Amino acid sequence: MSFPWAKEYKPANDFTKWVDEKLPLPRLVYNAVGAGYPVPRNLNYMWNFGVLAGFCLVLQIITGVVLAMHYAANAEVAFATTEHIMRNVNWGWMMRYMHANGASFFFLALYIHIFRGFFYSSYKAPREMIWLLGVVIFLLTMATAFMGYVLPWGQMSFWGAKVITGLFGAIPLVGEPLQIWLVGGFAPDNAALNRFFSLHFLLPFVIAGVVILHIWALHIPGSSNPTGVEVKQESDTVPFHPYYTAKDGFGLGVFLILYAAFVFFLPNLLGHADNYIEANPLATPAHIVPEWYFYPFYAILRAFTFDFVLSAKLWGVLAMFSSILLWFLLPWLDRSPVRSGHYRPLFRKFFWFGLIPCMAVLFVCGGAPAEEPYVMLSQIATAYYFIHFLVIIPIVSSIEKPEPLPYSITEAVLGSDKDAVLGENTTPAT
């Protein structure tokens, strides 16, 4: 783990020496996020979002535990206790707005973090395991957020739960019994609300566990960087503390300003007014949509409107799940030896003019009513999405001629590297 030039932890006094002998926890922290962890010197702000996502997880756990002290997961009173939090509990409104908007900011951070990975191919060897664990974290976070949104037991909560659990009904043969088993009844009710609360409380701690594995796996090869050229020497790195504690801290400040603006001035902008109406199993809101962070996947779900061997409904469900599951294959679909999009002319074009507009279209369509032109647009974008990952990425990675890479991170930053003079180093090294 880590590079040979990493600074070693030296206990400052007898007490820390005593602790270090019995339980080297301070040493672990020092080597993980302290001066003992050398990090590439050229990271840009795209490398800030992992820390920001971790911060959001802590924020969700703290505000969530507080909300759980006042909330009751019973269909008779869940809506009322949420309103009780808003009106009666001291600072309850703030805790709830922090938690609800915290979920949105969590996803904002995760999306940027993931798309950073797409552009810089952070998923490539030797970082496949970090990527795989990241996809697991994303799936768990989606499940957690979905179940959390059900808890206030408003109209969107209820109908969201109904539509999403209804997806399982599309599975042939076992679908309907599975759906009834999942919700513990014929439609979401007390049983479903209770189990969702139980799991919503539990899963964030499971996520925290997987995050630890994610960071453990990261610390074996260390962070990648915008050039994608691996660290070669000490001059390529700086110690995490104070350099990146400061940089990440600044980024966190900016992130928090934006977050506070939402919590205090636009707390309901990202929510849906229908969720302030109590759940009514007999009336569907005119326009059911999930939270914004699920829009692209909801658009993929709804893009299938025709039967072809399998029913349209089953196609939609399969496509929605596989749109994320296929990220697991990415390390093996992209065979280019070069990581960073900065040195991959063709890959870069497909990223900016293919994948990004495709996601934007899916995002807009996922929030729009199921009418033309949105249906057709989501069909085109869904088709592109799968073609991008399954066809374009593998082909581009084998036909593309990458641009010359810098010899080292030091050369990329300083313009020259004394070691580079020794060899012919404009060939694409990795």
Partner 1 sequence: MMADTTVPADGVDRRDFINIAAVSAAGVGGLAVVFPLISQMAPSADVLAESTTELDVSAIEPGQSIKAVFRKQPLFVKRLAPQEIAAANAVDASSLRDPQTLAERTKEGHGDILVTMGVCTHLGCVPLGAVEGENKGEFDGYFCPCHGSHYDTAGRIRKGPAPTNLEVPDYEFTSDTTITVG
- Residue 100 binds which entry of partner 1, ligand HEM, none, CB below 5-8 Å type-dependent: ligand HEM
- Verify binding: residue 191, partner 1, rule CB under 8 A: yes
User: Is residue 207 a contact partner of residue 141, using CB atoms and an 8 Å limit?
Assistant: yes
Closest Cα to residue 273, out of 296, 297, 289, 295? 289
Position 191, amino acid: A
- Residue 96 binds which entry of partner 1, ligand HEM, none, CB below 5-8 Å type-dependent: ligand HEM
Name the pairing type of β-strands 38-40 and 237-239: antiparallel
Active site residue 223: yes
Among 41, 99, 116, 162, binds partner 1 (CB under 8 A): 162
User: Is residue 120 a contact partner of residue 46, using CB atoms and an 8 Å limit?
Assistant: yes
Copy the structure tokens of residue 175.
């679908």
Q: Hey, how many other C-beta atoms are within 10 angstroms of the C-beta on 422?
A: 9
Residues 71-100: x/- map of binding to ligand HEM (CB under 6 A)?
Answer: x----------x-------------x--xx
Active site residue 22: no
Active site residue 274: no
Q: Which residues contact 313 (CB under 8 A, 6 or more apart)?
A: 170, 304
Closest approach, Cβ 244 to ligand HEM, in A, equals 24
User: Is residue 46 a contact partner of residue 116, using CB atoms and an 8 Å limit?
Assistant: yes
Residues 227-266: x/- map of binding to partner 1 (CB under 8 A)?
Answer: ----------------------------------------
- Please name the residue that has the structure tokens 């702000």: 45
Could you tell me which residues are beta bridge partners of residue 154? Answer: 278
- Verify binding: residue 288, partner 1, rule CB under 8 A: yes
- Residue 163 binds which entry of partner 1, ligand HEM, none, CB below 5-8 Å type-dependent: partner 1
Closest Cα to residue 138, out of 115, 122, 114? 114
CA distance 40 to 45: 13
Helix (H, G, I), strand (E, B) or coil at 38: strand
Q: Hey, how many other C-beta atoms are within 10 angstroms of the C-beta on 423?
A: 10
Q: Pick between residue 284 and residue 425 the one whose CB is nearest to partner 1.
A: 284
- Verify binding: residue 65, ligand HEM, rule CB under 6 A: yes
Which positions from 118 through 157 interact with ligand HEM, judged by CB under 6 A? 141, 144-145, 148-149, 151-152
Among 209, 242, 281, 404, binds partner 1 (CB under 8 A): 281
> CA torsion sign, 130 to 136 to 139 to 140?
negative
Marked catalytic residue, from 291, 334, 411, 417:
291
Copy the structure tokens of residue 320.
């929605």
Buried b (16+ CB within 10 A) or exposed e, 312-322: ebbbbbbbbeb
Which positions from 337 through 396 interact with ligand HEM, judged by CB under 6 A? none
Q: Judged by CB under 6 A, which stretch of 2-10, 53-61, 174-182, 379-387 contacts ligand HEM?
A: 53-61
Q: Which residue is nearest to ligand HEM (CB)?
A: 64
Active site residue 14: no
Q: Which residues are catalytic?
A: 219, 223, 247-248, 291
Residues that bind ligand HEM (CB under 6 A): 57, 60-61, 64-65, 67-68, 71, 82, 96, 99-100, 103, 106, 141, 144-145, 148-149, 151-152, 200-201, 204, 207, 271
